[in-house]
A and B are shown apart, each in its own frame.
Chain A
Amino acid sequence: MAGLVPQFVVDIIDWVLGVFHSLPEWLQYLTVTTWKILFVMITVILLVAFSTYFERKVIGRMQARIGPNRVGPLGLGQPFADVLKLLIKEVIVPSQSSKFLFVIAPLLSLVPALAAWAVIPLNGKFVISNIDAGLLYVLALTSVGVYGVILAGWASNSKYALLGAMRSAAQIVAYEIAMGFALVGVLMASGSLNLGEIVRAQSGGVSHWFVLPLFPLFIVFWISGVAETNRAPFDVAEGESEIVAGFHVEYSGVAFALFFLAEYANMVLISTMTAIFFLGGWASPFAGWTFLYEIAWLSWLTVGGLPWLFAKMCFFMYTFFWLRATFPRYRYDQIMRLGWKILIPVTIIWIAVEGAMAWIQVGPWSELGA
């Protein structure tokens, strides 16, 4: 170590560590947690920035276009140019609007999307708060996000915005039920509400992932996730063909940027949650493949960690864009029919099937049936 880094760097690190260890215990804890939070927040916001770029590239290619390629190398500066543009635009508060709620609505949709990361485990060790009821916490926070949309629609004092908010409220409440039921299946299989425990219950390679025994629930969860984030083909909340831009029609500048940020942060969150609940989170798909241990240059594949979670998350983000480029928007009554009459019955039937299998001791959860 001494040869690789100059002496003064070592001294600085020693000094920082010395100061850190001299702090009282609660202050140490506070410092570490603050750094963890900052790390996760900055990562999520950067992910959001680059997923807007990724989306435009993916959809561009699917529509035989090139996508953004002017700002920076390969157009990678595009998200930052967009942010700068939005920041220097004027925020207009409509007259006769409820000013406080109008301003606070974008924050109400962004904060839950970021706060949910508190319980998401990124690898075997890193999680900001390792609480037992983590799954419920995530579910509670994703359901709170709808307030931002409803209040934005109402506080704008605009008919289009109110219509968008109405549609969105009905849609989110409907799909939340299916989502919750799908998660009941996950917690039955893992026997825990702790997200870390859920991932550990799926360790041992791709054959142990919940996506295989819980395939219908995985599909339901993913569809509900797309509906919860108001993304295409469920984006009636901002259906521009009939209600201009829906709930955020009156928003401009930074306030609009916050809605945009919230939507993408929610997408990243739903993608990560799907990976954690059904695809084994940070676990490697090749974990149980013993013959891989012997091949030196492939053995790294069997080690779980953040890169696996990141790869799974990216796959689902890609699926979001893929869906958007593929499907036309659902009609409102079709959305309601799909949510209430198809997804919810499917989840209830599969939970009953799972219960029966646990009862007769079949399947990966048989040891939990006792």
Chain B
Amino acid sequence: MMFQSVLFYVFAAMMLGAALGVVFSRNPVHAVMFLVLTFFQSAVLWLMVEVEFLAIVLVLVYVGAVMVLFLFVVMMLDVNIEAAKRGLTRYAPFGIAVALVMVIQLVQLIWARGQGVTSTGGFVATPEGYSNTKALGAVLYTEHVYAFEIAAVILLLAIVAAITLTMRKRPGLKLQNIAEQVAVQAKDRIRVVKMATEKKQ
């Protein structure tokens, strides 16, 4: 247990450090990479409480897909550090207010747990042969099936909305008709001209 506590504090400290790196790094690409590190550390913390399905899905979805797209966008931005700095001072009060609210919530939660108000009983190791994935699937597709499907429909809606917003008809847009390209025959492109050989002059 001692060893696990040490591991927990090491990974938690790295996670906090990486999260601070997201906020304080000047370069947006570096910030994204810090965020990736933060996700990895939180996945490790989840693995330590034996929720391996959620941990791996966190890496698969957030690190493997969402952050790649994020990086994709950020790399193409022309970053103006001066403008970003001005933004920082303007939004700082708002950010501090949000941070304060979250700190108060966390303190309340930890304090309440210390008082024994919500006795979750702490962390209980799962028995041998218990499959996290199966347990999650069993709940997700029976008890919470409507919430699950509504979430799927909302995501679909977001995809359709995003595509509609970006698929505007621009003038001068050139598109390739693949079917047409495939159907092309040699005689459409090349004209074979038959002519008599000319005499050498």
User: Nearest chain A CB to B48's CB is how many angstroms away?
Assistant: 14
Residue-by-residue, is B120-133 near A (CB-CB < 8 Å gives 1, otherwise 0)?
00000000000111
Tell whether B69 is near chain A: CB-to-CB under 8 Å.
yes
- Which of A69-77, A141-149, A201-209, A320-328 is found at the contact surface with chain B? A141-149
Query: What 1/0 mask marks residues of chain B from 54 to 87 whose CB sits below 8 Å from any chain A CB?
Result: 0011011001110011011001100000000000
* Complex partner residue of A136 from B30, B60, B131, B176, CB under 8 angstroms: B60
Known contacts A139-B60, A150-B72, A162-B75: does B65 contact A173 (CB below 8 Å)? yes
Whether B75 contacts A150 by the Cβ 8 Å rule is yes
Most buried by B among A137, A144, A337: A144
**Contact among B60, B63, B68, B131 with A132 in the assembled complex (CB-CB below 8 Å):** B131
When the two chains form their complex, are residues B29 and A101 in contact, meaning their CB atoms are under 8 A apart? yes
Which listed residue, A131, A166, A169, A333, touches B52 by the CB 8 Å rule? A131
**A170 with B72: CB separation less than 8 A:** yes
Would you call B56 and A133 a contact (CB within 8 A)?
A: yes
Whether the Cβ atoms of B68 and A173 lie closer than 8 Å is yes
Give chain A interface residues in 233-284, CB to chain B under 8 Å. Answer: none
B105 on the interface (CB 8 Å rule)?
Answer: no
Q: Which residues of B contact A169 (CB under 8 A)?
A: 68, 71-72
Q: How far is the CB of A136 from chain B (nearest CB, A)?
A: 4
Would A147 and B131 count as touching, CB distance under 8 A?
no
Structural contact, B75 and A165, CB atoms closer than 8 A: yes
Contact partner of B64 among A140, A151, A170, A337, CB < 8 A? A140
Check B132 against A132 for contact (C-beta < 8 Å): yes
> Given the complex, which residues of A lie within 8 Å of B65, measured CB to CB?
143, 173, 176
CB pair A150 B71 closer than 8 Å: yes
Given contacts A98-B29, A147-B36, A173-B69, contact A337 B60 (CB under 8 A): no
> B68 is contacted by which of A98, A139, A150, A154 (Cβ under 8 Å)?
A150
- In chain A, what residue has the closest Cβ to B54? A133
CB closest chain-B residue, reference A142: B64
Contact with B along A169-192 (1 / 0, CB 8 A): 110110010000000000000000
**What sequence of 0s and 1s flags, for each residue 78-120 of chain A, a beta carbon within 8 Å of any chain B beta carbon?**
0000000000000000000010010000000000000000000
Tell me which residues across on chain B come within 8 A of A58, comparing CB atoms.
none
B64 touches A143 (CB 8 A): yes
* B19 beta carbon closer than 8 Å to chain A: no
CB nearest neighbor in A for B129:
A132
Q: Is the CB of B33 within 8 A of A151?
A: yes
- CA separation between A143 and B63, bound complex, in Å? 8
Quick check: is B183 within 8 A (CB to CB) of the other chain? no
Q: Nearest Cβ in chain A — how far from B121, in angstroms?
A: 24
Closest to B71 in A: A150
Shortest B90–chain A CB gap in Å is 28
Q: A140 contacts B56, CB within 8 Å? A: yes
The answer to whether the Cβ of A193 comes within 8 Å of any Cβ in the partner chain is yes
> By the criterion CB–CB under 8 Å, are B72 and A144 in contact?
no
Q: Does A22 interact with chain B (Cβ within 8 Å)? A: no
- Determine whether A334 belongs to the interface, using a CB cutoff of 8 Å to chain B: yes
A193 to B71, CA, bound (A): 30
The residue from A101, A133, A165 contacting B53, defined by CB atoms under 8 A apart: A133
Q: How many Å lie between the Cα of A162 and that of B132 in the bound state? A: 41
Complex contact B64–A133 (CB within 8 A): no
Provide the bound-state CA to CA distance between A353 and B82, in Å.
56
B108 contacts the other chain (CB 8 A): no
For A133, the chain B residues whose CB sits under 8 A away are: 52-53, 56, 132-133
Within 8 A of A (CB), among B90-129: none
Distance in Å: Cβ of B36 to nearest Cβ of chain A: 7
**B22-41 residues at the A interface, CB under 8 angstroms:** 27, 29-30, 33, 36
Q: Determine whether the beta carbon of B75 is less than 8 Å from that of A143.
A: no
B130 to chain A, nearest CB (A): 9
* Cβ–Cβ contact B29 & A154, under 8 A: yes
With A143-B65, A176-B65 as given contacts, are A98 and B60 in contact (CB-CB < 8 Å)? no
With a cutoff of 8 Å between Cβ atoms, the chain A residues found around residue B60 in the complex are 136, 139-140, 143
B72–A166 touching, CB < 8 Å: yes
Q: Which residue of A lies closest to B53 (CB)?
A: A133
> Beyond the given A133-B132, A140-B57, A150-B68, could you list 15 further A-B residue pairs with CB under 8 A, ordered by the A residue number?
A98-B27, A133-B53, A136-B53, A140-B63, A143-B63, A143-B68, A144-B64, A147-B36, A150-B71, A150-B72, A150-B75, A151-B33, A165-B75, A169-B72, A173-B68
- Can you report 9 A-B residue pairs in the complex whose CB atoms are below 8 A from each other? A132-B133, A133-B52, A137-B56, A140-B63, A143-B65, A169-B68, A170-B72, A173-B65, A333-B176
Q: Which A residues are closer than 8 A to B by beta carbons?
A: 98, 101, 131-133, 136-137, 139-140, 143-144, 146-147, 150-151, 154, 162, 165-166, 169-170, 172-173, 176, 193, 333-334, 337
Contact surface of B with A, Cβ cutoff 8 Å:
27, 29-30, 33, 36, 52-53, 56-57, 59-60, 63-65, 68-69, 71-72, 75-76, 131-133, 176, 178
What 4 pairs between A and B have smallest CB-CB spacing?
A143-B64, A140-B60, A140-B59, A136-B56
